[in-house]
Structure 1
Amino acid sequence: MKKLLLLFGALALTLASCSSDDNSSDSVLLKKVILTGEGGKTTVNYTYDGNKIVSIVDDTKEINMHYTYTGDLITKLEFRLPDGSVEQTNTYTYGTDGKLATFLRVELDDDQLRGHKEVYTYNADGTISVKLYSGDDKTQTLESDTSIIKFVNGEVSEITSTNSPDHKYTYDSKNNAAKNVLGLDKIAFVDGEGVGVFHNELSDISEGETWSTYTYTYNADGYPQTSVDDTEGLHYTSEYFY
């Protein structure tokens, strides 16, 4: 399910309009992506309630993500199998200031539940300290890790961890349609990786090696019209529709 999160980062968080009935950049919301890879073409459909994301589902339901809000905050994300059963649940809790306090991922792996939890502390210098825990429901083992998240212009610029891969990110200066989707900016740094929200990610360098690169063509309003994504040896091209 981690690869689906990466796909969401590559698609849903770097999106913009090929065509729109409204020229205002504040109203841009993605409706469809045609993704072309080694396996052929896949159509990914996005649904909303106003500017709240409801679901991201492809034509085979391999990508099958469903969101729950409490007020204007995303509090749950479910990854479902084609038969509708839930394979993974992400849960998000917030402090009274509206900032993300904890993230919990629970997934079914070989009939065993595995969990990963992150607890966030917001520092005076603008960084976030993260305490990470993981374990499973049978052996009940617990492993811990710590990390520091840095930001530049509101985007995650670097994540350094004691026991997990480090990441450094670069972005363009163009528009990212995710800025109009409520709540996505609050969770753009969970699970040890960052995704662009206000601008579009150009590269992700992990442990000194380039993990992902992205190139774009843009429409007249400065949003990506097409993209080419190279992530962990996988090559995708995408067309975006609103």
Structure 2
Amino acid sequence: MTEGTGASAEHHHQHRDVTGGWLRPAVFGAMDGLVSNFALIAGIAGGQASQKVVLLAGLAGLAAGAFSMAAGEYISVASQSELAEAEIEVERLELARHPRAEERELAEVYEARGVDPETAAEVARQLSRNPEGALEIHAREELGVAPGELPSPLLAAGSSFLSFAIGAVLPVLPYLLGATSLWPAAVIAGAGLFAAGALVSRVTTRAWWFGGLRQFAFGAAAAAITYGVGALIGTNGA
């Protein structure tokens, strides 16, 4: 009996990061760059363009996409952070002007979670002794954020720029090294898509091969469609 209790007490388990952490935005940016730029290159190559034109299109797509991603991510994160900061300031003023009401509000939060009223009131009273600590708890409970832990717009923009550029440069590499056909770029892009999809499986319950094949299929479909459009327009233009 004692051994069973001891074994139970020693039992531990860990959960994976269900929010995706850094992995989700990094892999998403890389896949976005890889799919969009390979599809762009495929469309240009389908129109029977020269190696120089395909290379120029690939480099232009890389630069335009990376800067667009960075700018969009910066504005999005900055706007979200500014809104959160404004709401946190509202909460700070409420704590200063109506401390009793805010204390009772916090107690009601714990009551709603199943804590008995007396215990909830005592917990709220003790937590409210420290204004900054109380502000953090109120912000977490009511806004889902905490002062000092808001995401950095510059870091988000830089990460998006870098991850998109890494993905977008892969299909361009063969042309930089002198390739004159689409096949080397297709092989590298396909391998990159499969690897990125397999990596995403780390934050899902899917098997790595399923994630890899799924991403490969979507990327291949996008490239095939743009190649067909490029071939059609190029042929008609000729």
TM-score interval, normalised by the smaller of the two chains: under 0.3
Using structure 1 for the length normalisation, give the TM-score: 0.26
Structure with the bigger percentage of helix: 2
TM-score, length-scaled by structure 2: 0.27
Q: Which structure exhibits the higher relative contact order, with contacts defined as CA atoms closer than 8 Å and separated by 6 or more residues? A: 2
